[in-house]
Every structure is written in structure tokens, then in C-alpha cells.
Amino acid sequence: MSGCSRHPGRAPSLDPEEELEVKRTFQPNVRKRAKNHGFRHRMSTRAGRAILRNRRLKGRAKLSA
């Protein structure tokens, strides 16, 4: 086992075959997306209504998720 690593600042792995992959951060979930970014959620707050108003004024075809 050599002291050098392909990743400086990271301790060398004990098992040379062990290479951990970085997990992707975006894990799509339609229901969660609608709950946080959907039309009904936008309409429920003053700021959300302002977002919808601005998107209408800009001419967006899609107002919310």
C-alpha cells in the first residue's frame, strides 16, 4: 500500500478495489416537487402569488411545477 492517493487530503483506502462513488444529489419525486413548487402551494402564500403574477406578466407558458 503506497502513501500516495489519487485524492489529496483523503486518507488512502485499505482496499485498493474500494472506490466510493459520489451519490447524485437530485433524487426525483413528483409528489414532493408538487408539494413544494406546485400551483396550490404558490397560491397559499403572498410571496407565491407574487411569483405567479410575475411569471404571468413575463408570459411564461408554465407557471409552476
| Residue 49 domain-assigned (yes or no) | yes
Residues of the domain holding 44: 35-65
pLDDT digits (tens, 9 = 90+) for 2-58: 555 566 676 666 666 667 889 999 999 999 999 999 999 999 999 999 999 999 999
| Residue 14 domain-assigned (yes or no) | no
pLDDT digits (tens, 9 = 90+) for 29-45: 999 999 999 999 999 99
pTM of the model: 0.62
CATH number for the domain including 61?
Answer: 1.10.287.3980
What is the distance between the alpha carbons of residues 38 and 32, in angstroms, rounded to a whole number?
9
